[in-house]
Structure 1
């Protein structure tokens, strides 16, 4: 695989990018109170600062507000001990559920400082439920599952904005997605803390069809995916994205590309992540709606107490004939612990029960579709410790019956989507150009399954693969594998790999 070149980003990182006249919200009628609405006062301050550019100051104190609109040239700055509280009255957000802070087609906007933005999401949802029962709010999804996303406002929503800066702030307790950056260009997220497990759909951050984005030195604890990149429009894409030095906790996945995957993902660089207590995958790369996913470089990831280490999936849930592509992925230096128990147990919003029948621990996986292979994926310097303890009474796939594993082409992509898998360490199916180098997986308790299974793989290069002494036989299974190279394998004596034919 060719060495990736990361495009340098031009993003305003200094306060000199913004006019520095200060506008205190106190001068426009704002009051520190848990009951007084400051919506009008704060919006007046933003409007005044927008005339020539300037900084809107939220001083120390508690300031309750409804939805605000940020404008070009304005920096919203939260001083130490400043708390901006979102209204818990749903009707203040309008029928469409406007975000607490929004901007559309604006440039050079920022939210900075060491203060807190608290969406008060749990209380807001309680008001939503009250209004639904009273017939004052209408929602088709409510009685089927829970109030829909339009009924539950997010905290920050920026669309088609450029030169966006978000530094230092803490964001907490959203009723839905915490923050979304749609079709933006030039976004800097630095030293942000997100603490949002108040309700469902609490993605820590969503980058949607945006370009030239940096997410640095930040912490995300979310009820849904921690950092999620999406592509939701035809012709759109997430490009030139850099994620570094972040800590993630999620009742879904840690770092994820997808599920929304219509346009594309290109030139994504991720390094130095710590993922902990995460229900699904530490790393999930998913393209299932026709998107082209390519040139992804992920390195230096530590997963502690996660449900799955690596999940790479090319699917086809879109209704037209366009198939996704997934190619040129490098994942390097990953150390993960996958326990036998539920990793997020005890958190306010735990991951949902599996959509599939009972299954044993799920291996790392790379899975495409027949005729639509995942291409050119390299896993190197990978170490995964599994809890083991699998039982045939829970589920069992005979090694000679690999074709019985469902393709599930249109299924929601997640690591449990195939039910029981025939291996415990790594499962690769419908792939081309796969390189596995310096790959070590081990068990805390025995597992009756083979460690590695490769099914329908053209071009497989295994080098320095290490398996535990207690590995079950056969240790490695190849089916439909062509152009195989396997060297320096640390496999216990008598545990040789086998080539099988499907029954």
Structure 2
């Protein structure tokens, strides 16, 4: 990214991009959207009036249930024009908390808001699960159609998620497994899965799901209620939302889930889940507009920072992309992905800036995933200054076969027509990336009917076991890419790729085959300044034409 573009990103983040800078860009630089229309994120503002939950009868002994006094404090604060609801030091046991407009729920440093293990405290409600209408238990913290709300402070919010989650024995140490069994619940007949309740086991045994089918009512889910784990925090259709400073941990399912929100700020959080927590995502931003995520740390059981916008037809009908997002100065430890888009992105995602972040120990670093049937357009994604270490699988991944079986190399398949259900990945700029340790550096896999396209990868250094695979991709531009792959032959594999350029490519000096071009659907693969004088460095197979590969 050129200097004026770097300045633009920084100034965009603080909402003061001057018009003169817009005209300073050269004609060769693409401008996929108008920067002047990307607003800054508006922060909520609160009255100084403070409502201490102790004044409403709350008791900090970890035993008394404080659901009623906490919710009364929040409601009273809102009714009186808003302010701060204070949770002072102590362990405050509670059931579901209902946020109200103009309320800042503030936790002192030594405060623990602990949600009840009693499933009966949580009502069955209509919600969503992975982008679809579903039956769920009431979220521990929730709010709908609110404005000017916040959860701030330095305390801890604990969702008590372990009591909700069934877990496999292979995910725990032997001592953890023994402790889990001793805590109660049930164990499967093969002694491999622990269930928290009879209702959870019934749902598993009967292969019941959460989806709300036509003609069903909430009563149809009563017999498996405990299986319908809630997300810890759900804000739906809210404006001017702030989450700052607090530790959110041990969520029953997703941890933080804003949906259809506008002007959302997530700042200086610590989001923590066990690494065995299924669906234990850190932050899932779904169909939101104008978002700032900064200075936060994630150590979770599923994706860390994830962008979503609904699933399949429901998401397309909603038609609300997640857009105008700034993600900066965050750290992600254990997670399925550090920064993720998808797979539920049917409403689209666009105008997203990610920079100055570190991923350490995540399964995948930059993870962009979708599948046929999703639809949706993911575009105008800008990523810069990402540092990765000890990535388990791929440093950078684009995959349009998420949870689907791709065709084998050379296999003849019937290519479906392009429809509104065909997903699209296009116009990504990924710059200044360093990864020290991963199984594979780059994986790009599109669909025959809709390739991953228009991707720029610049100034990237990846030290990995394997190099790169590029399948069903078009207009992939790589400049100053270094792939130091210790166990890769070839370093770069290309199948059904077109208009792929590599300038200033570097690889391990002891590499055998550097490029493997597979199949007869490759064209215009151009490599310059890569020291490929030895013809054995390039291999062709399954009808690949030598004319498709051009060295300069």
Which range, TM-score by smaller chain?
0.7 to 0.9
For residue 181 of structure 1, give the secondary structure of its aligned residue in structure 2: strand
Alignment-derived partner of residue 426 in structure 2 = 327
Q: Does 1:61 align with 2:61?
A: no
Alignment-derived partner of residue 399 in structure 1 = none
Q: Select 1:32's aligned residue among 60, 83, 94.
A: 60
Residue 150 and residue 205 in structure 1: after superposition, are their counterparts in 2 closer, same or farther (change >3 A)? farther
Count of residue pairs the alignment pairs up: 441
1:88 Cα deviation from its structure 2 partner: 1.1
Q: 2:97, 2:341 → 1: CA distance?
A: 30
1:178 Cα deviation from its structure 2 partner: 0.7
On the 8 A contact 2:340/2:368 being kept in 1, the answer is yes
More helix by share: 2
Alignment-derived partner of residue 84 in structure 1 = 113
Residue 129 and residue 23 in structure 1: after superposition, are their counterparts in 2 closer, same or farther (change >3 A)? same
Q: 1:310, 1:170 → 2: CA distance?
A: 29
Q: Select 1:304's aligned residue among 389, 412, 437.
A: 389
Q: Does 1:93 align with 2:128?
A: no
Residue 363 and residue 301 in structure 1: after superposition, are their counterparts in 2 closer, same or farther (change >3 A)? closer
Q: How does 1:204-353 map to 2 (within 5 A)?
A: 204-232=282-310, 233-234=315-316, 235-279=319-363, 281-288=364-371, 289-306=374-391, 307-315=393-401, 321=419, 322-339=421-438
Residue 134 and residue 488 in structure 1: after superposition, are their counterparts in 2 closer, same or farther (change >3 A)? closer
Residue 88 and residue 125 in structure 1: after superposition, are their counterparts in 2 closer, same or farther (change >3 A)? farther
Task: Tell me how large the CA RMSD over aligned residues is.
Answer: 2.8
Q: 1:25, 1:103 → 2: CA distance?
A: 19
On the 8 A contact 1:9/1:186 being kept in 2, the answer is no
- Where in structure 2 are there 5+ consecutive unaligned residues? 1-28, 125-135, 167-182, 187-193, 210-223, 405-415, 545-552
Alignment-derived partner of residue 487 in structure 1 = 528
Which string of whole-angstrom CA distances, capped at 9 and with x for unpartnered residues, describes residues 444-493 of structure 1? 4x43x210122222211110000111112254436533233321114585
1:107 Cα deviation from its structure 2 partner: 0.8
TM-score normalised according to structure 2 size: 0.74
Q: 1:150, 1:133 → 2: CA distance?
A: 9
On the 8 A contact 1:23/1:45 being kept in 2, the answer is yes
Which string of whole-angstrom CA distances, capped at 9 and with x for unpartnered residues, describes residues 222-253 of structure 1? 00011111111221211111110100023411
Which string of whole-angstrom CA distances, capped at 9 and with x for unpartnered residues, describes residues 161-215 of structure 1? 1110111111111121111011111100000111111632110010011111111
Q: Select 1:497's aligned residue among 534, 538, 552.
A: 538
Residue 123 and residue 29 in structure 1: after superposition, are their counterparts in 2 closer, same or farther (change >3 A)? same
For residue 240 of structure 2, give the secondary structure of its aligned residue in structure 1: strand
Alignment-derived partner of residue 162 in structure 1 = 239
Q: Select 1:381's aligned residue among 451, 459, 479.
A: 459
Residue 491 and residue 206 in structure 1: after superposition, are their counterparts in 2 closer, same or farther (change >3 A)? same
1:81 Cα deviation from its structure 2 partner: 0.9
Alignment-derived partner of residue 159 in structure 2 = 119
For residue 56 of structure 1, give the secondary structure of its aligned residue in structure 2: strand
For residue 330 of structure 2, give the secondary structure of its aligned residue in structure 1: strand
Residue 286 and residue 28 in structure 1: after superposition, are their counterparts in 2 closer, same or farther (change >3 A)? same
Q: Does 1:11 align with 2:41?
A: yes
For residue 50 of structure 1, give the secondary structure of its aligned residue in structure 2: helix
For residue 329 of structure 1, give the secondary structure of its aligned residue in structure 2: strand
Q: Tell me whether 19-28 or 469-478 shows the greater mean CA deviation.
A: 469-478
Q: 1:202, 1:316 → 2: CA distance?
A: 18
1:136 Cα deviation from its structure 2 partner: 6.1
Q: 1:226, 1:380 → 2: CA distance?
A: 24
Q: How does 1:359-370 map to 2 (within 5 A)?
A: 361-370=439-448
1:150 Cα deviation from its structure 2 partner: 5.8
For residue 522 of structure 2, give the secondary structure of its aligned residue in structure 1: strand
Residue 128 and residue 117 in structure 1: after superposition, are their counterparts in 2 closer, same or farther (change >3 A)? farther
Residue 465 and residue 226 in structure 1: after superposition, are their counterparts in 2 closer, same or farther (change >3 A)? same
Alignment-derived partner of residue 400 in structure 1 = none
On the 8 A contact 1:90/1:128 being kept in 2, the answer is no
For residue 70 of structure 2, give the secondary structure of its aligned residue in structure 1: helix
Which string of whole-angstrom CA distances, capped at 9 and with x for unpartnered residues, describes residues 285-317 of structure 1? 123211111111111111111121011123498
Alignment-derived partner of residue 213 in structure 2 = none
Q: 1:224, 1:489 → 2: CA distance?
A: 38
On the 8 A contact 1:311/1:365 being kept in 2, the answer is yes
Alignment-derived partner of residue 450 in structure 2 = 372
- Where in structure 1 are there 5+ consecutive unaligned residues? 340-360, 389-423
On the 8 A contact 1:142/1:148 being kept in 2, the answer is no
Q: Select 2:508's aligned residue among 455, 468, 479.
A: 468
Residue 251 and residue 11 in structure 1: after superposition, are their counterparts in 2 closer, same or farther (change >3 A)? closer
Residue 31 and residue 199 in structure 1: after superposition, are their counterparts in 2 closer, same or farther (change >3 A)? same
